[in-house]
A and B are shown apart, each in its own frame.
Chain A
């Protein structure tokens, strides 16, 4: 259960470059809900994710994850309950470490890191099975540096790492945007499978309205730091991309530039 109350984020307060990135976000996400978030560039999607993960400290408002008020917690402290897959495959994995070392890092997320060996043989065996379940043949490359893998393979591993420990919420930050269409659809399918299997609570930011409507249970649209609409259930099921565009125009009384959002 995630609860965000009157969240405000402002960058460069008092300077000519002041940006009020989030202007009072109120949001409750019940356990097990898969929320997709859309919005044009600068709408505050990434800022919302960063505020949830702890990378950005809000100016006002509260963030409650589970039953804990985490508003003032740094990223590493929140990692026990918040996992994240980045847009850039290079961000989510550490290229100078091997596959198994990266996975071992995910396996001890939120745990106390001891002075015991990070790669005990029992652990490696467990990791090997998990990697084999991805069906990419990576289980034979556990000793390879992760920099040798493709973007799609790295995103798949990032997803796996994010779910090695129990979490309250999984944050997906346009995690297929940097991939080619075929790989992107594989990673999306994998995402849906993992989320389904573990009944995860998810917030997925995407640039694609189609993706936003076809994945998950609920869709939010952000505009200028506010949630301008929030649909779920039957209303969402009968909504098309064209409806979304109309809805957006009605709500804001302005025409959305065609290239501001990808329709695909």
Chain B
């Protein structure tokens, strides 16, 4: 693997660490299987790209993208809690609706950002080559987000949210408005995913309405992979596991695509991803049963 391919994997891994944080909140903290992600990722991209092209400050555009993502997540949770639509279905409805919304926002299937000022512009003027400066910029973003998330999840409100996801009866009895917590958590989750979409568009130079396909699977792969490599004994370890899982996933993909003897091509990406996720889910159980067969007790 060339150095540029390696740094490229790190860069994408860092962006998708943000998606992994979002998926961690919905799937792990709230126990809410949320597919809105596939719509809120391109939503973040579409909102920020459209605003940047029309001359809005890129930082403001990114913030607007997060707000839009937050609304999408909140809507999914609202449909589940207030309208009693099954969580998975509610998220699929939002995801499908967002496809149209994204087309409306951009007015066309994609928006190019070439030559526009983005949040990455200040990093580009550091004098480093782009393949160093971009991962560096994303590392800063991920560091800020992971710190804020850690502080939030260990705060009184964050603890209430974790209880609301883990044991709704107990949380209600302790005075936690579980419905409100789920709506807040889902909003945060999708705001993070939209932030990732916005960053991705700004680094790739375009927003595209189809860029969200499979994002949820990549996010899940990162969360599950991270858990397999680093057991999430504490909240901090779980968050760091998301980053690690996301980067490892990208490196694994890059390695697989670079291994010529496998004959894999770029279009095989989703196939490899699905295989990796299935593998990561089965692995912990398989390890146990192998040990049991050979008489090793844990």
Distance of B232 from chain A, by nearest CB (Å): 10
Asked if B191 is at the interface of the complex by the 8 Å CB criterion, the answer is no
A94 contacts across to B, CB distance below 8 A: 162-163, 166-167, 170-171
- Bits for B12-51, please: 1 = Cβ < 8 Å to A, else 0: 0000000000000000000000000000000000000000
The bracket for how many chain B residues form the interface is: 20 to 34
- Contact partner of A113 (CB less than 8 A), chosen from B154, B157, B167, B169, is B157
- Contact partner of B174 (CB less than 8 A), chosen from A54, A115, A161, is A161
A105 contacts across to B, CB distance below 8 A: 159-160, 163, 170-171, 174, 176
Asked if B177 is at the interface of the complex by the 8 Å CB criterion, the answer is yes
Q: Are B155 and A109 in contact (CB under 8 A)?
A: no
Given contacts A76-B177, A83-B173, A91-B169, contact A116 B159 (CB under 8 A): no
Q: Are A79 and B167 in contact (CB under 8 A)?
A: no
Asked if A108 is at the interface of the complex by the 8 Å CB criterion, the answer is yes
Q: Are A93 and B170 in contact (CB under 8 A)?
A: yes
Asked if A96 is at the interface of the complex by the 8 Å CB criterion, the answer is yes
Asked if B8 is at the interface of the complex by the 8 Å CB criterion, the answer is no
Interface centre among B154, B155, B167 (most CB of A within 10 A): B167
Chain B residue nearest to A105 in the complex (CB): B174
Interface centre among A75, A106, A111, A116 (most CB of B within 10 A): A75
Chain B residue nearest to A164 in the complex (CB): B174
Chain A residue nearest to B153 in the complex (CB): A118
Q: Are A115 and B155 in contact (CB under 8 A)?
A: yes
CA distance A106 to B157 in the complex (A): 13
- Bits for A85-116, please: 1 = Cβ < 8 Å to B, else 0: 01000011111110001001110111101111
- Bits for B139-171, please: 1 = Cβ < 8 Å to A, else 0: 000000000000110111111101100110111
Asked if B172 is at the interface of the complex by the 8 Å CB criterion, the answer is yes
Asked if A176 is at the interface of the complex by the 8 Å CB criterion, the answer is no
Chain B residue nearest to A112 in the complex (CB): B156
Asked if B285 is at the interface of the complex by the 8 Å CB criterion, the answer is no
A101 contacts across to B, CB distance below 8 A: 159, 162
CA distance A108 to B173 in the complex (A): 12
Distance of B106 from chain A, by nearest CB (Å): 35
Chain A residue nearest to B169 in the complex (CB): A91
Q: Are B163 and A117 in contact (CB under 8 A)?
A: no
Distance of A214 from chain B, by nearest CB (Å): 27
CA distance A7 to B204 in the complex (A): 64
Q: Are A79 and B166 in contact (CB under 8 A)?
A: no
Given contacts A76-B177, A109-B175, contact A97 B158 (CB under 8 A): no
Asked if B198 is at the interface of the complex by the 8 Å CB criterion, the answer is no
CA distance A92 to B160 in the complex (A): 14
A96 contacts across to B, CB distance below 8 A: 162, 166
Q: Are A116 and B167 in contact (CB under 8 A)?
A: no
Interface centre among B158, B174, B178 (most CB of A within 10 A): B174
Given contacts A114-B156, A118-B156, contact A106 B166 (CB under 8 A): no
CA distance A41 to B163 in the complex (A): 31
Q: Are B172 and A113 in contact (CB under 8 A)?
A: no
A111 contacts across to B, CB distance below 8 A: 175
Q: Are A76 and B178 in contact (CB under 8 A)?
A: yes
Query: 14 A-B pairs, CB-CB below 8 angstroms?
Result: A76-B172, A77-B177, A83-B173, A86-B169, A86-B173, A94-B167, A97-B163, A105-B160, A113-B160, A115-B157, A117-B155, A117-B156, A118-B156, A118-B159
